[in-house]
């Protein structure tokens, strides 16, 4: 699924980044790369997503998040 589909409070792992190489490289420099765990802190339309990555917080636009494929760690009840 894409990161944009994750809900606030979800914990996900980055599977792949489907962006042009310059954008993917920049996200990698920020620590967002395949295998990394992300905490979705806020995902409310039309605002950007707020993500936790280690001790850092990232705010990414919805268009970029739509190009990041993730795997959920567990199903919600």
Residue 49 binned pLDDT confidence (cut-offs 50, 70, 90): very high
- Please write the tens of the pLDDT for every residue from 20-29: 999 999 999 9
Total domains in the chain come to 1
| Residue 32 falls inside a structural domain | yes
| Residue 77 falls inside a structural domain | no
Cα 10 to the chain's mean position, in Å?
Answer: 10
CATH at 11: 2.30.30.90
Res. 5: pLDDT tops 60: yes
- pTM comes to 0.87
The mean pLDDT value for 13-41 works out to 95
Rounded distance between C-alpha atoms, residue 16 and residue 22, angstroms: 15
Range of the domain at 57: 3-72
């Amino acid at each position: 699924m894409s990161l944009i589909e994750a809900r606030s409070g979800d914990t996900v792992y980055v599977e792949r980044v489907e962006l042009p190489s310059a954008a993917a490289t920049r996200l990698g420099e920020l620590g967002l790369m395949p295998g990394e765990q992300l905490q979705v802190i806020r995902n409310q339309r039309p605002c950007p997503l707020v993500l936790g990555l280690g001790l850092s917080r990232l705010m990414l636009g919805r268009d970029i998040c739509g190009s990041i494929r993730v795997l959920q760690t567990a199903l919600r009840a």
